[in-house]
Amino acid sequence: MKAIQLTGYKGFESMQLFEVEKPKPAANEVLLEVKAAGVNFAELELTKGRYRIPKEPPFIMGFEAAGVVVELGARVKNLKVGDRITSLVSTGGYAEYAVADYGRTFPFCTVKNSRVLSKCGALSKAPPSLSWTSYV
């Protein structure tokens, strides 16, 4: 699969496209076919080394991803293959596929009117920035 990896801390030139193996979900994770990924301030700072995470380059960028569940880990409940979700991922969202802890996944809803949001159930547990991007 194709993925954007951070190879150093020289800004955008450190983001490079690579061919890598598709991840496999652990027992408490889902494999997501990524349809959209968020770009946030922390990631922009990360490319310059001004925001640190416990990983050293190279690694796949992307803290947020949305798409379709294609595989479930053995202990995943309340989700099924084909569900449309958005998720927080530790890294890996800038790829064709990403794994996410199922406790950090949220149903993806289409806004038709304000009542839809309360029926989705994700607003109460999603961070405000993720909620907004998930429902727009």
Which tens digits make up the pLDDT trace of 57-89? 999 999 999 999 999 999 999 899 999 999 998
What's residue 123's pLDDT? 44
pLDDT value at residue 3:
97
What pLDDT score does 108 carry? 74
Residue 119: exposure state from Cβ atoms within 10 A (0-12, 13-18, ≥19): exposed
Residues 2-106: name the CATH superfamily. Answer: Medium-chain alcohol dehydrogenases, catalytic domain (3.90.180.10)
Output the pLDDT for position 134: 43
pLDDT at 119: 47
pLDDT at 113: 52
Q: Look at residue 136 in the predicted model and tell me its pLDDT.
A: 39
pTM: 0.80
Give the whole-angstrom CA distance, residue 9 versus residue 98: 23
Separation CA 127–CA 67 (nearest Å): 18
Beta bridge partners of 16: 5
Which long-range contacts link 1-5 to residues 24+ away (Cβ below 8 Å)? 1/95, 1/96, 1/97, 2/95, 2/96, 3/60, 3/92, 3/94, 3/95, 3/96, 4/60, 4/61, 4/62, 4/94, 4/95, 5/57, 5/58, 5/59, 5/60, 5/61
Q: What is the pLDDT of residue 110?
A: 59
Residues of the chain with pLDDT under 70: 109-136
Query: What residues contact 13, with CB distance under 8 A and at least 6 apart?
Result: none
pLDDT at 105: 92
- pLDDT at 120 (0 to 100): 55
pLDDT of 109 reads: 66
Provide the pLDDT for residue 85: 92
What's the confidence (pLDDT) of residue 38? Answer: 87
Domain ranges of the chain: 2-106
Contact 61, 35 (CB under 8 A): no
